[in-house]
Amino acid sequence: MATPADAARASQRDVLGQHLARLPRWTLAIGLTLLPIVALINVGVLVWSLGVVDLAQRILAPQLLVLAAMLALVPMVANAVRLAMWSRFLGLPLGLAGALRVITGTMLANSVTPSATGSVPIKVLMLMGEGIPARRGISLISFQAAEDALVMFSLLALCITLSGFALFDFLGSDTTFYDNFDRNLRNAAMIGLGLIAALAVLGALTAAGVFGHRVRSWSVRRVRHIRVAAALIIGDWRALARGGKRIALFSLCLAVVQWSVRFSIAGLVLAAFGIAWQPALFWLLQYLVQAISASVPTPGGAGGAEAGFVLLFGPFVDRTVLFPAMSAWRLLFFYLPLAGAAVIFFILRRRLRHEAIRRAPEAPAAAAQVPAE
Contact predicate 119/300, CB 8 Å: no
Model confidence, pTM: 0.75
The per-residue pLDDT for 373 is: 44
Contact predicate 77/250, CB 8 Å: no
Section 126-154 average pLDDT: 87
Alpha-carbon gap, residue 203 to 201, rounded angstroms: 5
Q: How confident is the model at residue 295 (pLDDT cuts 50, 70, 90)?
A: confident
Question: Which run of H or of E encompasses 202?
Answer: helix 177-207
The domain ranges of the chain are 4-175+244-368
- Residue predicted with more confidence, 75 or 230: 75
CA 104 from chain centre, in angstroms, equals 9
Least confident of 14-23, 127-136, 203-212: 14-23
Alpha-carbon gap, residue 304 to 133, rounded angstroms: 35
The per-residue pLDDT for 147 is: 92
The per-residue pLDDT for 114 is: 60
Contact predicate 13/98, CB 8 Å: yes
**pLDDT digit string (tens) for 191-247?**
878 878 887 887 777 777 777 777 777 777 777 777 877 888 888 888 888 888 889
Contact predicate 167/283, CB 8 Å: no
- Residue predicted with more confidence, 112 or 125: 125
What 3-state class would DSSP assign to 58?
helix
